[in-house]
């Protein structure tokens, strides 16, 4: 009986007498069946990667020509891209909006988390948190609707406030200002995601040892002093991780947001790489160009992730991956 159970235990743990890979696999065939959903990943995430090959072709959508009969052009698509001023304009917009978004959401999310953490009345704290999550859960279409209405020159609330306060004499069409687009994109991201993003920081803050605050009280430290001396240093590792993660996503500016906030007069400052792929390559069926841009985007993103991770390792001796 005892022998039997130890054998069963050994079989479960996969120890005991060494068994071949295939024999173990056969024993674990039920787990293999449970692994089948990985086929979804292969079919819908990995299989599309073969499409990168068309970046080295002059691909023409057609039923008559098979994929491998398409004209192979080597790196010509990339050469043409790097000679295209609109591609560099898109790259500049991606980097600019991406960087501004990171800076703004980073700062405001952290600020919101610190201030929410300082609220002492618990029902008020809970209410503020619940309210601040709401924009995260609505779609960018809804958010854009609200933003267009609020910033409208025809009775939009922001223009009304500015006019009542006498800051401007005539209403401003904010969504049509090419120079304001980057800031509007960054601040609308803050509006949509700061509350939700604060969850992570607040969770880490709850694990700070309360005795630290108590002894700071003994020493007569004020609230602001405690924030800078205890709260912020305690969440520094999280702050670093979040920064590294967001730098890796620098070029993934968020297609939906930009595409839907863009207006005809802001095309020059709003067209990011992702938007350019859609409005130029997709709509004109220049599939090879679009694939080349996707490859460029992925390569730069991977480089950024590796760089930022290395940088994080240099900072504190441990990376995140």
Partner 1 sequence: MASNAQAQIPGGRMALGRISARAENVIFDSVNVVLMLFVCIVTLYPFINTVAVSFNDSTDAVRGGIYLWPRVFSLKSYETILIKTSAIPHSAMISALRAISGTLISIPLSMMLAYVMTRKDYVLRGLITKLTLFTLYVSGGLIPTFLTFRSYGLMNSFLVYVLPPAISGFNVLVMRSYIAGIPFELTESAKMDGASEYRILFTIIFPLALPVIATISLFISVNQWNQWFDTMLYCSSTRNLSTLQFELKKVLDSANSMSGDAVLAEALGSSGDGSSGRVTTQTIRAAMTIISVVPIACVYPFLQKYFVKGLTIGAVKG
Q: Looking only at residues 290 through 319 of this chain, which bind partner 1 when binding is defined by CB under 8 A?
A: 290-291, 293-295, 297-298, 301-302, 305
243 interacts with partner 1 by CB under 8 A: no
Min dist CB 250 to partner 1, Å, is 13
Min dist CB 98 to partner 1, Å, is 16
41 interacts with partner 1 by CB under 8 A: yes
Task: Please name which of 87, 90, 91 lies closest in space to residue 79, comparing C-alpha atoms.
Answer: 87
- Enclosing H/E stretch for 58: strand 57-58
Q: Point out which residues pair with 57 in neighbouring strands.
A: 72
Angle at 284 between CA 282 and CA 287, to 5 degrees: 50
**Sign of the CA dihedral with 41 first, then 43, 45, and 50 last:** positive
DSSP structural state of residue 307? H
Min dist CB 35 to partner 1, Å, is 5
2 interacts with partner 1 by CB under 8 A: no
Number of residues that bind partner 1 (CB under 8 A): 97
Contact predicate 76/165, CB 8 Å: no
- Which of 220, 317 has the CB closer to partner 1? 220
- Which of 101, 288 has the CB closer to partner 1? 288
Member of 81, 112, 230, 312 binding partner 1 (CB under 8 A): 112
Window 252 to 291, contacts with partner 1 (CB under 8 A)? 255-256, 260, 263, 274, 277-278, 281-282, 287, 290-291
Window 188 to 227, contacts with partner 1 (CB under 8 A)? 191, 195, 199-200, 203, 218-220, 222-224
47 interacts with partner 1 by CB under 8 A: yes
Min dist CB 182 to partner 1, Å, is 19
- Which of 24, 69 has the CB closer to partner 1? 24
From 85-93, 95-103, 114-122, 162-170, give the range in contact with partner 1 by CB under 8 A.
114-122
- Enclosing H/E stretch for 261: helix 255-261
- DSSP states along 279-294: IIIITTT-HHHHHHHH
Window 3 to 22, contacts with partner 1 (CB under 8 A)? 5, 8-9, 12-14, 21
Contact predicate 118/204, CB 8 Å: no
- Which of 148, 311 has the CB closer to partner 1? 148
Contact predicate 198/125, CB 8 Å: no
Q: Which two tokens stand for residue 196?
A: 């939700």
- Enclosing H/E stretch for 71: strand 71-72
Contact predicate 215/237, CB 8 Å: no
């Amino acid at each position: 009986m005892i022998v039997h159970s130890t054998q069963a235990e050994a079989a479960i743990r996969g120890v005991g007498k060494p068994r071949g890979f295939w024999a173990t696999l056969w024993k674990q065939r039920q787990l293999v069946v449970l692994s089948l959903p990985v086929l979804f990943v292969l079919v819908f995430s990995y299989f599309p990667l073969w499409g990168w090959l068309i970046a080295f072709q002059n691909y023409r959508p057609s039923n008559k020509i098979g994929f491998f009969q398409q004209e192979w052009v080597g790196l010509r698509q990339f050469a043409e891209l790097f000679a295209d001023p609109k591609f560099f304009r898109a790259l500049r917009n991606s980097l600019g909006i991406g960087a501004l978004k990171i800076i703004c959401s980073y700062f405001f999310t952290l600020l919101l988390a610190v201030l929410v953490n300082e609220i002492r009345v618990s029902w008020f704290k809970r209410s503020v948190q619940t309210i601040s999550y709401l924009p995260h859960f609505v779609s960018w279409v809804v958010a854009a609707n609200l933003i267009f209405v609020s910033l409208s020159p025809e009775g939009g609330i922001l223009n009304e406030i500015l006019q009542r306060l006498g800051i401007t004499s005539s209403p401003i069409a904010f969504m049509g200002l090419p120079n304001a687009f980057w800031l509007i994109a960054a601040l609308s991201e803050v509006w949509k995601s700061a509350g939700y993003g604060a969850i992570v920081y607040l969770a880490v803050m709850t694990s700070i040892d309360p005795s630290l605050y108590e002894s700071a009280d003994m020493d007569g430290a004020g609230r602001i002093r405690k924030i800078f001396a205890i709260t912020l240093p305690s969440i520094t590792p999280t702050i670093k991780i979040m920064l590294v993660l967001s730098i890796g996503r620098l070029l993934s500016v968020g297609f939906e947001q930009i595409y839907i906030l863009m207006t005809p007069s802001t095309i020059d400052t709003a067209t990011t790489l992702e938007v350019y792929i859609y409005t130029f390559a997709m709509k004109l069926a220049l599939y090879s160009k679009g694939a080349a841009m996707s490859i460029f985007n992925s390569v730069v993103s991977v480089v950024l992730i590796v760089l930022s991770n290395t940088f994080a390792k240099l900072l504190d001796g441990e990376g995140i991956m």
